[in-house]
Structure 1
Amino acid sequence: MRKRLGIISLFIILFIAFITLWNYSYYQGQEEAYIPIENNRPIPIIPSETGVFQRSEFALEYANMPVDENHQRSIKSYYNNRAFYGAPPSIPHEVESERNMGGNSCLKCHENGGYTDKFKAYAPVTPHPEMVNCRQCHVPQNTETLFKATNFEKGTIPLVGVNNALAGSPPVIPHQLQLRENCLACHAGPSAPKEIRVSHPERVNCRQCHVPNNKVTEDIGVFVRKNQN
């Protein structure tokens, strides 16, 4: 009897030890995984992707805004407001003070967009609200200073609807991404040009389907498959 009790006690002790070790191992496995980073080594980031994710909370708001039929912007007016293709847009309205910048004035309308009673239209959204010195790049349209008309060419404007790799495939991005990290600024909401207004602003991972058109391709001539024999 005493021998049988000893065997049962040993079995119970081993069972408890097994449960304890398994429980410890299980909870150790629940710790967050991490990648050790060497000292003085830069942390990799994707700056050209960050803007659109930071603005993604407004995606559905842009989708639900009514289209302003009377003040819609078009591609033509979009580029007419620029000195040349790729240039910052000029300021098409009066500016209260030459020293007004960023959050004190411009960003009140252009940070998140929306309808402005003063101009009876929707304000375009800036793709880079963190750059508050707006007048460093953006200037008024009309000026009486030393600027004179020239024969400067504005350059070739990307065509809409012809920059798809295949019929039905997502269009490529025909411009650089620097200072244009927030895709929703130009492609979503009632202030977006109607020709490039996206129908799915809630899909905020734009670069999952759209890629920049910055690759130089060369004609390889007639492709001939080599004989496999």
Structure 2
Amino acid sequence: MKRAVILSILALLSIGFLINWIYSYEKGREDAYIPISKDKELPIIPSESAVFERSGFALEYLNMPMDENHQRTLDTYYENRAYPGAPPSIPHPVKEKLGMGGVTCLQCHQNGGFVEKFNAYAPVTPHPEMINCKQCHVEQRTRSRFKATHFYKKPAPIVGTNNALPGSPPVIPHQLQMRENCLSCHAGPGAVKELRIDHPERINCRQCHVPRKRQYENIELFVRTNSTTND
């Protein structure tokens, strides 16, 4: 009798293990994409909350057709900056009498869209909460009276060469301050053609992409640790 009870318990445990293994195996084969629902509360990481601010537009960006005749390119992107990493200048006239960014700039740059007046898509600002736009962004007024100098313009990062390893996700080649909102620059019709991503629905960007500085710190730590172990 005792032997029969033990065998029954072992059989139940085996069946339970088999069911659990099959369930885990099937779950592991499911598609990695997580559907986004506007009615469902999105996960928030306090230190990286700005990453998710435009996540509600992710599916629209994914299914949005691109206008081949009005695309921004890297050449125009960097031409509008004094050096890589500098705030972009304002390439169009600004109506001073209407005040600062909260009244004028955000009308086009908060959510983007095509602007008939300038025949272009307005790039989306990653920091719409900073409404004093002209504190950092200045209007271009020197094209006709600029004098050549010996100022050296640092070359821009080359797209496609900032992967830690072949096939690995590219690292982030710029600082994150005021640029935490990744989808503002990397998705949608106003995004630069060469920088536009094909998976905006994966909204937790920094799960795979790390800042370049952190990448080098990790490599240095790895080398230091292995050197110590070998010694």
TM over 0.5: yes
Q: Which one is further off, 140-149 or 190-199?
A: 140-149
Partner residue in 2 for 1:5: none
Query: Any idea what SS the aligned residue of 2:117 has?
Result: coil
Partner residue in 2 for 1:212: 211
Distance 1:63 1:98, change over 3 A: farther
Q: 1:182, 1:127 → 2: CA distance?
A: 5
Partner amino acid, structure 1, of 2:87: P
1:138-191 CA distances to partner (integer Å, 9 max, x unpaired)?
Answer: 011224899744221121311111111122211000111001011111110111
Partner residue in 1 for 2:9: none
Partner residue in 1 for 2:132: 133
Structure of higher CA gyration radius: 1
Q: Offset of 1:76 from its aligned partner?
A: 1.5
Partner residue in 2 for 1:86: 85
4+ residue runs of structure 1 moved beyond 3 angstroms? Answer: 143-149, 223-227
Q: TM-score, normalised by structure 1?
A: 0.70
Partner residue in 1 for 2:113: 114
1:187-213 CA distances to partner (integer Å, 9 max, x unpaired)?
Answer: 101111111100011111000000000
Matches within 5 A, 1:46-125: 46=47, 49-97=48-96, 100-125=99-124
Query: Any idea what SS the aligned residue of 2:212 has?
Result: coil
Distance 1:103 1:226, change over 3 A: closer
Partner residue in 1 for 2:4: none
Q: Offset of 1:63 from its aligned partner?
A: 2.6
Q: 1:150, 1:77 → 2: CA distance?
A: 22
Q: 2:87, 2:198 → 1: CA distance?
A: 25
Partner residue in 1 for 2:30: none
Distance 1:121 1:151, change over 3 A: same
Partner amino acid, structure 2, of 1:102: G
Partner residue in 1 for 2:166: 167
Aligned-residue RMSD, C-alpha: 2.7
Instruction: Give structure 2 stretches of 5+ with no counterpart.
Output: 1-44
Query: Any idea what SS the aligned residue of 1:104 has?
Result: coil
Higher helix proportion (structure 1 or 2): 2
Q: 2:206, 2:142 → 1: CA distance?
A: 39
Distance 1:88 1:226, change over 3 A: closer
Between the aligned residues of both structures, percent identity stands at 64
Distance 1:76 1:145, change over 3 A: closer
Q: 1:226, 1:124 → 2: CA distance?
A: 51
Distance 1:191 1:89, change over 3 A: same
Query: Any idea what SS the aligned residue of 2:90 has?
Result: coil
Partner residue in 1 for 2:23: none
Distance 1:63 1:137, change over 3 A: same
Q: 2:143, 2:75 → 1: CA distance?
A: 25
